[in-house]
Amino acid sequence: MFKQPSKPRAAALVLAGLLSACGPTGSTPASSDAAVDAEAAAQPVSEAAVTALLAPFEGPYGGVPAFDKVEVAAFEPAMTRAIAAGLEELEIIAAQDAAPDFENTIAALERQGSLVERVGVYYGIWTSNLSSPEVREVEPRIDAMLADYFSAKYMNQGLFGRIETIWQDKETLATLSDEQQRLVWDYYTDFVRAGAALDEETRAQVASLTTELSGRFASFSANMLHDEQAYVTWLTEDQLSGLPENVVAAAASAARERDREGAYAILNTRSSMDPFLTFSDERDLREAVWRTYYSRGDNGDEYDNNGLIADILRLRQERARLQGYENFATYALEKRVAQEPDRAMDLLMQVWPAAVARVEEEVADMQAVADAEGAGITIAPWDYRYYAEKVRKAKYDLDSNEVKQYLELDNLVDGMFWMAGQLYGFTFEPAQDVPVFHEDVRVWQVLQDGAHQGLFYFDPYARTGKRSGAWMNGYNSQSTFDGPVKVMVSNNSNFIKPDGDDPVLISWDDAETLFHEFGHALHGLLSDVTYPSQAGTAVARDYVEFPSQVHENWLMTPEVLNRFALHYETGEPIPQDLVDRIGQAGTFNQGFATTEYLASALMDMKLHTLDDGASVDARAFEQETLTALGMPQELPMRHRLPHFSHVFSSDGYAAGYYAYLWSDTYGADAWAAFADAEGGAYDPVVAGRFVDHILSVGNSIDPVEGYRAFRGRDVDTTALMRQRGFPTGSAD
């Protein structure tokens, strides 16, 4: 559950320091893409297709992306032209004779690079949502081009000299607004972090390392995508015991897509793996699916990621040292709210003992159920979800399939929109004549007090070539300094597309994720800043998840449940008894959820505070670290290193996976303000403060100050521990 910026913006954040013949047991590899790659590479490209990617957004609602005119073959030539234009713009800013000031340098940089951003919208969507052999063939080259471009930008000495002059003139700086002063600080700090203040030889080394890293990132991602698509666990009808109808239907649909009518396919993705492990009565198959999934990137073949991990760690460490930092983690956290690796580690370790202790309790409960059934087993990782579901039913009489009957996707989307209306005055109307990048995508116009506020795109279904998980994209950034620019945002999910008009019923966890990602979208839609680089979700990595964590909570409010959690056949609202059981089960399995996450977060931070990342054997380090932490044997870390895309497909979350817990700490504490408000969860005063100090300000103010203004104090961990059902250490 994380926000994914467009490719060029992501590259900028990275460089600026912000942001086998046989496979695993039970699986068969797919055919090679080599012939398709060769054919794709030979496809011609029209001038019209290139121009379409470069052209300003036109059409209704002030202009929209021309998704109906995209040709993959145009990505590379379009990006080549966009980068050339961007570099020319940089040289004009750097070489001007006028003395540097805010308008001719900082504001000019806010306008610079629009073509790269525009082409990047299309490119980012195709690599994330519509990846194909043709896309993957050009991806390494375009990523390398972008790395070189941003390196050239942030290493430009003439440009840096102008920014430095503005930053050091404190008297003139004091005449700027607070928003402008923060923007100057942002640019100055980003250029310094990228290496602009280094000598020429060192700058060249940093740029070379960054380019090398971009290639490693692309290879890691390509290997991951291969292992997610190449391995399928095939089932026959007599192997479906325990699986709910919707899981069976999804498996049948996945098999039909692969020309295996009458068979059933469990794909190597979380959305396919998770329900199978939860419900399948076939323990041998559960183990096969588990091993297939958790061995992604770790199969000892040409798609193995372990060697790439060592390369990436070495390159990061070399670059951080050249830039004057002790290690990559110190570099990565400099501009984040945590600021220092030790502070992030302290938070993780505050929660770790309670989470592990809860796992022991959960395993004991599951083992008791297995023993009572005469299963004759000891709980293993592929048993955890299955027996957790049995414990859930026994303890709370809560059947997740019963809950699903009331969680119909379209109704919940309406519920999200209603929530946004109550809190922020938004209404959502189907948009007309807006091109989309896939037939599954729907678009709404967002209005606030009757005025156009932006567009919301929703891409709900899984498909071949779409990366797993759920995320938010921004197609443009809100700003006012060259006239008002409205926002276009998208939410992207991986629900299984139904056959015909069948309803899409989702789990409670998926419903929470739906509201979470919508929180990111609202963060973008409510942005009200002057400069685009400070808009919406352009905040520190360990702060960006916080507003969306808060928005998960409105799903559970009676106002939403009574109106939108309706039985898909009868239309009756979800019974209060079932709601109560969901609430009582709210802290259930938190040992599993928190421990699997914390293990990955701790691993990430420990890797990036090593003295010598070049010597890392990823497999050995993973095992040794988990042993030292006392990791329970009954569950894995959420993301094993060979498929830890957050950390090894870009620099975005490297030494930053802790940010989810950091943000969740803020989220729990902020939700307590709503829960305790006189007007309840929809209190207009608290909602107004949330908009004024959190959602609308983006990165135009210090986030710590913004939170303090919203809450009246600094954040603390009490609400988080209480929310997860862990001891708080206080009398309550």
Question: Which domains, ranges and CATH numbers included, belong to the chain?
Answer: 7-154+156-194 (1.10.1370.40), 231-294 (no CATH), 409-575 (1.10.1370.40)
What per-residue confidence (pLDDT) applies to 684? 97
By the 8 A CB rule, do 654 and 608 touch?
Answer: yes
CA 607/CA 341 separation, integer angstroms: 12
β-strand 426-430 against 442-448: which pairing, if any? Answer: antiparallel
Higher-confidence residue of 194 and 564: namely 564
CB burial readout 653-675, b (16+ within 10 A) else e: bbbbbbbbbbbbbbbbbbbbbbe
Annotated active-site residue in 71, 110, 517, 622: 517
Q: Cβ(227)–Cβ(268) under 8 Å?
A: yes
Angle, CA 113 vertex, CA 112 and CA 114 arms, to 5°: 100
What is the pLDDT confidence band of residue 648, given thresholds at 50, 70 and 90?
very high
Closest listed residue to residue 248, CA positions, set 212, 207, 281: 281
Confidence of residue 43 (pLDDT cuts 50, 70, 90): low
Range 115-141 average pLDDT: 95
Q: List pLDDT tens digits, range 497-511.
A: 988 889 999 999 899
pLDDT of residue 310: 94
Provide the pLDDT for residue 38. 36
Task: State how far the Cα of 145 lies from the Cα of 312, in Å rounded to an integer.
Answer: 19
Question: In 501-589, which ranges are continuous DSSP H helix?
Answer: 508-525, 541-544, 546-552, 558-564, 576-584
Measured distance CA(150)–CA(163) in Å, rounded: 16
Please tell me what DSSP assigns to residue 300. Answer: S
Percent of the chain with pLDDT over 90: 82
- Which pLDDT tens digit goes with each residue over 541-556? 889 999 999 999 999 9
Tokens, residue 91: 């040289």
Q: Tell me the Ramachandran region of residue 465: left when phi exceeds 0, alpha when psi lies from -120 to 50, beta otherwise.
A: left
**Joined tokens for residue 30:** 């797919």
Please state the rounded mean pLDDT for residues 309-322. Answer: 94
Query: Is residue 613 over pLDDT 70?
Result: no
**Which tokens hold the place of 313?**
């760690």
pLDDT tier, 439 (very low <50, low <70, confident <90, very high otherwise)? very high
Give the DSSP H or E segment for 495.
strand 487-495
- The Cα 271–Cα 252 span in angstroms is 15
By the 10 Å C-beta count (0-12 exposed, 13-18 middle, 19+ buried), 103 is classed as exposed
> How much is the mean pLDDT over the chain?
91
Neighbours of 1 (CB within 10 A): 18
Q: How far apart are CA 630 and CA 633, in angstroms?
A: 9
Structure confidence by residue, pLDDT tens digits, 589-612? 999 999 999 999 999 999 999 976
The residue length of the chain stands at 732
Residue 526: count other Cβ atoms within 10 Å of its Cβ.
25
Quote the Cα angle for 518-355-662, to 5°.
45
Task: Say whether 517 is catalytic.
Answer: yes
For 123-162, give one letter per residue: b (16+ CB within 10 A) or e. Answer: bbbbbbbbbbbbbbbbbbebbebbbbbbbbbbbbeebbeb
Q: CA dist 634 to 363, 369, 620, Å?
A: 8, 15, 19
Lowest mean pLDDT among 6-15, 94-103, 308-317, 641-650: 6-15
List, for residues 162-207, the tens digit of each pLDDT value.
999 999 999 999 999 999 999 999 999 999 998 899 999 998 999 8
Q: pTM above 0.85?
A: no
